[in-house]
Structure 1
Amino acid sequence: MQTIQVEVNYDFICPWCWIGQRNFAAALAESGVAGSVTVRYMPYELNLSMPLEGMDRREYRTQKFGSWARSQSMDAQVAAAGLGAGALINYNIVSRTPNTRLAHGLMQFAQEHNEPRMTGALYQAIYAAYFSEGRDIGSMDILVSIASARGFDKDAVRAYLTSRSGEHKIDAARQRADNLGVRAVPTTVIDGEIISGAQPIATFTQALRSASLRSVT
């Protein structure tokens, strides 16, 4: 059986990306083809103009949606959807909206070191740090701590993030996504099939099994 290539276009600021990740992970386990799947995480920055230090979340969301009350209503809906997927979203303790470029850089580092299981665990951990624990994932110190807790060498991580040597890959991934017609995240590409949004487990399962059948014909 040939390897099934999966690309996940994401941004850590997007709760639906985390929900989609949880559904995809469940589908991967359910499909029976996990051993034949290679996942590549493709950064897609949603807030290109976000200051490097991030913004106060209440201020940012009020500006974006017109009122804090509207933002809170939307947050409640997302948190409910997250619970259904096993993603605990605690917006009441999230005080800042971060710039996610460094977090994307950390994922580039992980993928360059070719540790798929560690990389997948790190991807999940960054979402949990932000949405469940309210940590500022725009902070280098916090990202180094998250990576270290998942088995990565903290000095190597810090050196990589400080050098910003992976930024050209972040830009190239965005350009590739634009060329593919990606306009929102999450967008998951399974063996060439584009799946937009945080789809149910069954949708991902079907796509994985279909890709598996194609790989043996």
Structure 2
Amino acid sequence: MNNIRIDIVSDVVCPWCIIGYKRLEQALASLSDSVQADIHWHPFELNPAMGPDGQNLREHIQEKYGTNDEASLSARNTLTQLGQEVGFLFEFSDEMRIYNTRKAHQLLLWAQSENKQLALELSLFEAYFTYGQDISDDSVLIECAIQAELDQQVAQHIINDSTWAETVASTEQQWLEAGINAVPAIIINQKHLISGAQTSDRLISAIEQIIQAEG
């Protein structure tokens, strides 16, 4: 059995991040007879300056990338189809908003020490993309924490603790300084970077090549 470390730099409002993870999950399932992965998630805020009320998602995408309504609809349809292929439900709507994710990342950093990070990560992705919930709202975050079997009172403390917010910011800065400026970013054994939501076949090939090269 080959043991590998996988670091995933992502944001919970990034649709390609959940698609990328689900494809990685498929790849690891195919390699389960020979590969065992230890996965760690790391914060990357796509919109760290986003205000408390968020912004209409379509308007935000148009402002940020200069896309029009037709391109936005096409992208949503593509993401919905890709989600279906990996077993994840996207429910986009014209009223959907994008939110600040700092508090979500505070919870995720803490959840790693509780061995509940993946469960919380998936709960957050689902809350946002499937149910259209405001994942900057304390009550939504606490519900996600409960679903991940994390302690409710500790979770409440974490999301209101400025020290955890500072830790998220410093961690993100470290990744920026390491050259990560887009997500998802998958790093194998802390030195092999795979950028973007690659297909499961490409991930399988990359992992096999890395294992072979490292002997």
* TM-score above 0.5: yes
The alignment partner of 1:51 has SS state of coil
1:159 aligns with 2:160: no
CA contact (8 A) 1:105 1:164 kept: no
For residue 4 of structure 1, report the CA deviation from its aligned partner: 1.7
For residue 67 of structure 1, report the CA deviation from its aligned partner: 3.9
* Counterpart code for 1:22: K
Gaps of 5+ in 1: none
CA contact (8 A) 1:102 1:161 kept: yes
The alignment partner of 2:127 has SS state of helix
Partners of 1:214 and 1:180 lie apart in 2 by: 23
Q: Deviations over 1:173-210 (max 9, x none)?
A: 22222222212101100121100110011122223334
Partners of 2:181 and 2:33 lie apart in 1 by: 29
1:205 is aligned to 204
Partners of 2:96 and 2:37 lie apart in 1 by: 37
CA contact (8 A) 2:6 2:40 kept: yes
1:174 is aligned to 172
Q: Deviations over 1:18-53 (max 9, x none)?
A: 100100111112112687322111111111221133
2:12 is aligned to 12
Aligned residue pairs: how many? Answer: 213
1:53 is aligned to 53
Partners of 1:206 and 1:34 lie apart in 2 by: 13
For residue 58 of structure 1, report the CA deviation from its aligned partner: 4.1
Gaps of 5+ in 2: none
CA contact (8 A) 1:111 1:119 kept: yes
* Counterpart code for 2:42: M
Q: Which moves more between the two structures, 85-94 or 31-40?
A: 31-40
Q: Which moves more between the two structures, 57-66 or 175-184?
A: 57-66
* Counterpart code for 1:203: R
For residue 212 of structure 1, report the CA deviation from its aligned partner: 3.8
Q: For residues 42 and 95 of structure 1, do their structure 2 counterparts lie closer, same or farther at Cα, with a shift above 3 Å needed? A: same
Normalising by structure 2, we get a TM-score of 0.88
Instruction: Indicate the RMSD between aligned Cα atoms, in angstroms.
Output: 2.2
2:37 is aligned to 37
Higher helix share: 1
Partners of 2:138 and 2:155 lie apart in 1 by: 9
Q: Which moves more between the two structures, 6-15 or 50-59?
A: 50-59
Q: For residues 35 and 125 of structure 1, do their structure 2 counterparts lie closer, same or farther at Cα, with a shift above 3 Å needed? A: farther
Normalising by structure 1, we get a TM-score of 0.88
Partners of 1:137 and 1:180 lie apart in 2 by: 28
Q: Deviations over 1:146-169 (max 9, x none)?
A: 110121111110111111332233
1:83-102 superposed matches below 5 A: 83-92=84-93, 95-102=96-103
* Counterpart code for 2:173: Q
